[in-house]
Structure 1
Amino acid sequence: MMALIVIISGKSSPGTTTTVAALAYGWPAPLVVADCDPAGGDLATGWLSPWWLNGRLHPERGLLSFCTATRHTTSITADLLTPHLQAVPPAPRARLLSGLADPAQAISLQEGGWIRLAHALTALSTVPSGPVDVLADGGRLTAEAEAPWPVLEAADLVLLAVRPVPRHLHSAQPALTLLRQRIPQDRLGLAVCGTGQLGVREAHTVLGIPARLGLPEDPETARVFSDGLHHDKKVRRTTLARTAARAAARLHQAGTTIRLAHWTPTTMGVAR
């Protein structure tokens, strides 16, 4: 079985994309990293910018190209994603579905694009070579902004990224209200960024949902995952990378367990 996990935030910038990159770097199984931020994706031009700048990554090949290619397709299968995925040089187990280059492109997904993507991502559980996990960056969730709801509703876990400081906790509350209206409680959790155990407990106490992961404050390594700076083999030995790898292993198992608990033959391979 596979795990489909989405990380999203409120209107502040608590480190959602950095968290997705750090988890992908240490993910223990085959993985698709899907940049689903309707406001524009940063994974290819941030974490993976050294390979984008030298021409090994192509941001225009990804979410938008998938939605354009499948706009007249009625039967969505996982293999339709393959031409739009790219290797992730620092994470050999992962492949990238690059995000939008401009928020204006999000209109292309409103005519069923997010639904087709949700079906394709969920279908990765049945590929012949073995199931593939999905880790998606959902961007910011606000009442005013477009959101990739079909992908969120298909997810085994939706994690709300937050830092345990007042303005982040405050901005997370409206997003959590929106999530609770559409996502079952047992599929919700927190990704608490830039803190220790005390901060993780504080976020849980204030927001009232379990913390599925907590990542430590490590600004130098965080810049690698946010901006691609000074990426070398030493990154794997840093506190942030090691903590993220352990969290990735737990999330892989947790997402798979939740999918097994909710699985029925009629729901397998379609967006729930």
Structure 2
Amino acid sequence: MDPVFLFGQLFTGLSVASILLLAALGLALSFGLMRVINMAHGEFLMLGGYLTYLASQWVGPQFLWLAFPLAFLGSALLGALLEITVIRRLYGRPLDTLLATFGISLILQQAARQLFGSTGVPVNAPGWLSGAITLHGGALDGLTFPYVRLFVIVLAGLVLGGMGWLLGRSRFGMHVRAVNQNREMASALGVNTRRLDMLVFALGAGIAGVAGVGLALLAPVNPTVGSAYIVNAFLVVVVGGVGSVLGGAVAAVGLGFLTALAEGLTSVSLAQAILLIAVVAFLQWKPRGLFPAGSRALEDT
């Protein structure tokens, strides 16, 4: 196999893994804390992409300073609204939650079609992200690393580091871990679990919105872009271990590499089938994922 092709595919897989990681972080938080299967999570990513497009139309080439806060806040507010109006009324009813959020995802996709059309809207990356690093000489002569994909990888690393600090070092993270371990005891000790659920759901939605910014820099944004990522994001959560940020990071990188290599050697549809078979085989070996988070609620389900 040509080493330039191989390393090029691995680099592409790493950038795809970065988007998957950002999309999966919110799923890991919401399911780990609330046991909610949110089929509309991909639409937060879609919303972040469209808000990035609007930011680029409003302020021109240097739009990223507006796109990131706009995508995070817009997606977080939608997530908070969804949790308060729908999710909160369906706790303890996973099938009803799944069906309700699937219906909401279809509504949001149709709303996007009405507002932006059914075809993808392109977002031109700023000029300082238009170049690439090219290797010269040796076995990897000609291998290129586009700046925009490097930016997405760095973005995912920064968000992952921030989430690690927030969950591991802050008072908010302490409350999240306490509720994840034992909701009833945390509530008895004074933690407002209802408010925490809403904040965590909004945080996960906001992170998905940030993923939408990165995705918009790589490809046009269309109404179904979220549904294209939601399945793989769920796979990342399951393989990494429900509620585990570290497990999600490792799983995202592994699945991203596997997908990129399979697509380069076969086709997109066959690569997805190979990915699903690999995940099923892995879960036969480690059914709770790579780094399962200890939780009484998970043990009872």
Query: Is the pair's TM-score, using the shorter chain for normalization, greater than 0.5?
Result: no
Q: Higher helix fraction: Structure 1 or Structure 2?
A: 2
Greater radius of gyration (CA): 2
TM-score w.r.t. structure 1 length?
0.29
TM-score w.r.t. structure 2 length?
0.27
Q: Higher strand fraction: Structure 1 or Structure 2?
A: 1
